Amino acid sequence: MVFSSLTFIFYFLPIVLILYYIVPNKFKNIILFLSSLAFYFFAEPKFGILMIVSILSTYIHGILMDKHKEHKKIITISSVIISLSFLVFFKYTDFIIENVNMLFNGEFDLLNLALPIGISFYTFKMISYIVDVYKNKVKPQKSFLKLATYVSLFPQLMAGPIVRYSTIEKELDDREYTFSKFSNGVRRFIIGLSKKVLIADVLGDLISSFNMASEKTVLFYWIYAVAITLQIYFDFSGYSDMAIGLGKMFGFNFPENFNYPYISRSVTDFWRRWHITLGTWFRDYVYIPLGGNRVGKIKWLRNILIVWMLTGLWHGAAWNFILWGLLYGVLLVIEKLGLLKILEKIPAFLSRIYVMFVVIIGFVIFSGEGVEQILENIGGLFGIGVDKLTNAESMYYLVNYASIFVISILASTPILKNIVKKLKEKIPRIINIFEPLALSLLLIICVSYLVDGSFSPFLYFRF
């Protein structure tokens, strides 16, 4: 079950909201925990137990840390190792076996393990909790129910944002419920659903057409590259919007995860705006503990490359993700060594072209299946191995998807948001009437697409 499904929108969510708001406050966490388990078991019944065991391990380690403060470090290491062991076993075992076989001509059989949905996200949540307890940033949670509710909370269980325990610690005990907050949550959910269904899924159809095309031209390769760049953004930011909106409906305030990354003037700025909760997680729990930039230049470069190799590896057990991460690591180093000052001085449109070129190439690498396909797709962008610049088929897709490209490019900038903001200031009454109608229309259109369309999971479910 995903947020962009009729089952979730018309059955699961309304039932949970009704139960949640009719029970007394002391039972609301129970409703959230049970509904989160139901949500997860619906998608991954055999891995629901794994998540509960992981939560129980983290809970016990937190309690032990409180009782045996003299052994806090050992207890923390134990908890982190157990949490990472589950993640590594299910996500990276086959990747390790494949590379061992390749390097040593081995013949070890792959385990072909299914990847538990959301394990990358809830593992990082548990690690941040236990490390923050160790650093005395938060107190150990004595209630298993509250910790389990935090980890398994269905709005951000599958694909983030990575909400830290410290962010919602107080809200686990006392949340604010207002009509304004609930309505803002509904608004945010509909916007995220529209991003997913009306933009990301439509671009997904174009990408499928590219992959099935018998003849590809330079133009078609660029259409594909731009489409995959926009699809990943709207798919993931759409999910984040829906998660933040759902959080508000249940009284929580989740952190923002995207801040218009495609208007960035540097790669450094891009990563301050893209998947913000992941970037800050790696900064606080990997980069700074390694010494950050408070060490010699060689170690500093090492720290950056380690963080970005791990960032790539976190996204998936394949070399294309590692290469994608290292690409950004190298570019960030280059920027910090002097390029950043140049980018600040040149015209904004030139620095933005540089960033988007890097991002597009990066997502071509990110989306490739194997080195051979990555090289073919990147080569195709520059006419390598391609006979034609364009053809009738390429022009057909360019013309037919021109409107969605224009809409998605505009929507990836603050232009539309700023227009609405100015209109609210000038004609607030009209906008206050028009906005609910516009959102209702968007919801109806999304539902129509879902009724007629096929199932399309979120891209980040596999990470």
Q: Which residues are catalytic?
A: 315
DSSP 76-124: HHHHHHHHHHHHHHHHHHHHHHHHHHHHHT--PPP--PPPPTTHHHHHH
Tokens of 345: 């001085």
Residues 78/131, Cβ–Cβ less than 8 Å: no
Cβ atoms of 110 and 94 within 8 Å: the answer is: yes
Closest CA to 198 of 449, 432, 401: 449
Pairwise CA distance, residues 215 & 213, whole Å: 6
CA distance 305 to 323: 11
Q: Report the C-alpha gap between 56 and 147 in whole angstroms.
A: 9
Which two structure tokens, joined as six digits, stand for 191?
């916007």
For residue 303, what are its two tokens?
């720290």
- The amino acid that residue 347 corresponds to is P
Q: Any residues with CB less than 8 A from the CB of 79 and at least 6 apart, and which? A: 57, 58, 61, 62, 126, 127, 130
Beta carbons within 8 Å of 358's beta carbon, 6+ residues apart: 267, 327, 331
> Of the candidates 146, 135, 148, which has an alpha carbon nearest to the alpha carbon of residue 285?
135
| Chain centre to alpha carbon of residue 3 | 14
Burial class of residue 79, CB neighbours in 10 A (0-12, 13-18, 19+): buried
Distance, CA of 266 to CA of 273 (rounded, Å): 11
- Residue 374 and residue 364 in contact, taking contact as beta carbons nearer than 8 Å: yes
Pick from 110, 106, 99: which is nearest to 313 by CA?
A: 99
